[in-house]
């Protein structure tokens, strides 16, 4: 097993030409890595939540990279050619959106949800771009953009509905997609690192709490609470691709 990439949140190992192992780290970072802490337990909770949500999306007709989950910090996924974009879906006005559009009120409902694109670049700090920029730069085709936008909205709807059943509100979410043999797959992770969710009292269960100064262990407890609320156990999960 060869380590091919180490990011802020995960280590990526290559199992073979078709499959990767994502190891979720027990580490917390925010503000482009400026703030960082050890966070025992975080990796397991983020991996378990990702696995559960990928499986849920697959069961609802979304193609994802998920193959199987080991019950710990490891996710086996299909290796795809990553598209260097962050696709953000916003259901309520928050964060950087309020900075660029101050006429929006914090937590104002966005109906329909807004899909925005960022170019993944650490040096440039993931700048907001137009879909037309990505198409003109040959990052995606016009056809892929339509597909990705549609997928992002479907994923947002499915996750919002699931969370709403448990009195959780999905504020916004960041998605990454990849391609393989002409198919677009949802890849990367789905966790409190990549979406904002609040409970009935408006308490953040996502990484926002850490950005605002809560301790690493409180954040890990929040991540555990998300699993508890959704009824997710720390046990192995097999996706459709594991059975194929
Ligand atoms: N199925 C997949 N196939 C190939 N690469 C993937 C897949 N899923 C996720 N990745 C990539 O694996 C890496 C995971 O690492 P991590 O999320 O820690 O990175 P990061 O620190 O957020 O930095 P960045 O995402 O900018 O590379 C990301 O680069 C992500 O794009
Ligand atoms: Mg990442």
The DSSP line for the chain is: -EEEEE-SSEEEEE-SSSEEEEEEPSEEEETTTTEEEE-TTHHHHHHHHHHHHHHHHHHTT--BSEEEE-SSSEEEEE--EE-SEEEEEEEE--THHHHH-TTSPTT-EEEEEEEEEEE--TTTTS-EE-HHHHHHTTSS-HHHHHHHHHHHHHHHHHHHHHHHHTT-EEEEEEEEEEEETTEEEEES--STTTEEEE-TT--B-STHHHHTT--HHHHHHHHHHHHHHHT--SS-EE-HHHH-
How far is ligand 2, taken at its centre, from the CA of residue 9, in Å?
6
* C-beta 65 within 6 A of ligand 1: yes
CATH of span 81-198: 3.30.470.20
Q: What is the pTM of this model?
A: 0.97
Residue 231 confidence class, pLDDT cut points 50, 70, 90 = very high
* C-beta 47 within 6 A of ligand 1: no
How far is ligand 1, taken at its centre, from the CA of residue 158, in Å?
23
* C-beta 116 within 6 A of ligand 1: no
d(CA 238, CA 69): 6
52-86 per-position pLDDT tens digit: 999 999 999 999 999 999 999 999 999 999 999 99
Instruction: Outline which parts of the chain fall under CATH 3.30.200.20.
Output: 2-80+215-239
| Residue count of the chain | 244
Q: Give the mean model confidence (pLDDT) for residues 218-226.
A: 97
110-153 per-position pLDDT tens digit: 999 999 999 999 999 999 999 999 999 999 999 999 999 999 99
* C-beta 7 within 6 A of ligand 1: yes
Neighbouring residues of 225: CB distance < 8 A, sequence distance ≥ 6? 205
Residue nearest atom 9 in ligand 1 by C-alpha distance: 188
Residue 243 confidence class, pLDDT cut points 50, 70, 90 = confident
Instruction: Outline which parts of the chain fall under CATH 3.30.470.20.
Output: 81-198
pLDDT on residue 1:
87
165-190 per-position pLDDT tens digit: 999 999 999 999 999 999 999 999 99
How far is ligand 1, taken at its centre, from the CA of residue 225, in Å?
25
Looking at every residue in the chain, the average pLDDT score rounds to: 97
* C-beta 15 within 6 A of ligand 1: no
Residue 32 confidence class, pLDDT cut points 50, 70, 90 = confident
* C-beta 12 within 6 A of ligand 1: yes
* C-beta 3 within 6 A of ligand 1: no
201-214 per-position pLDDT tens digit: 999 999 999 999 99
Return the best residue to mutate from 7, 183, 241 for the ligand 1 pocket (most ligand atoms within 8 A of CB): 7
Residue 33 confidence class, pLDDT cut points 50, 70, 90 = confident
pLDDT on residue 208:
95
How far is ligand 1, taken at its centre, from the CA of residue 85, in Å?
11
Of 11, 8, 6, 5, whose CA–CA distance to 35 is shortest? 8
Does the domain formed by 2-80+215-239 have CATH 3.10.129.10? no
> Which ligand 1 atom minimizes the distance to the CA of 25?
18
* C-beta 179 within 6 A of ligand 1: no
pLDDT on residue 149:
98
Q: Of the ligands numbered here, which is closest to the C-alpha atom of 14?
A: 1
Of 192, 241, 243, whose CA–CA distance to 80 is shortest? 241
Say whether pLDDT at 244 is over 80.
Answer: no
39-60: b or e for each residue (b if 16 or more CB lie within 10 Å)? bebbbbbbbbbbbbbbbbbbee
């Amino acid at each position: 097993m060869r380590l091919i990439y180490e990011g802020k949140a995960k280590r990526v190992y290559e199992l073979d030409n078709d499959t990767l192992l994502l190891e979720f780290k027990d580490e917390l970072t925010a503000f482009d890595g400026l703030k960082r802490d050890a966070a025992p337990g975080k990796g397991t909770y983020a991996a378990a939540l990702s696995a559960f949500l990928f499986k849920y999306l697959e069961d609802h007709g979304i193609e994802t990279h998920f193959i199987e989950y080991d019950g710990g910090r490891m996710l086996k996924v299909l290796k795809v050619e990553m598209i260097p974009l962050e696709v953000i879906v916003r259901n309520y006005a928050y964060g950087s959106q309020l900075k660029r559009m101050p006429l929006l009120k914090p937590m104002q409902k966005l109906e329909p949800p807004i899909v925005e694109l960022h170019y993944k670049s650490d040096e440039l700090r993931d700048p907001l771009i137009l879909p037309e920029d990505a198409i003109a730069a040959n990052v995606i085709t016009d056809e892929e953009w339509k597909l990705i936008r549609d997928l992002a909205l479907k994923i947002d709807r499915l996750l919002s509905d699931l969370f709403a059943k448990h009195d959780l509100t999905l504020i916004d979410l960041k998605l990454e997609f990849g391609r393989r043999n002409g198919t677009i797959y949802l890849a990367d992770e789905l966790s409190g690192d990549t979406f904002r969710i609040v409970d009935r009292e408006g308490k953040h269960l996502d990484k926002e709490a850490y950005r605002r100064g809560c301790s690493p262990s409180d954040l890990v407890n929040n991540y555990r609470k998300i699993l508890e609320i959704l009824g997710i156990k720390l046990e192995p999960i097999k996706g459709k691709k594991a059975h194929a």
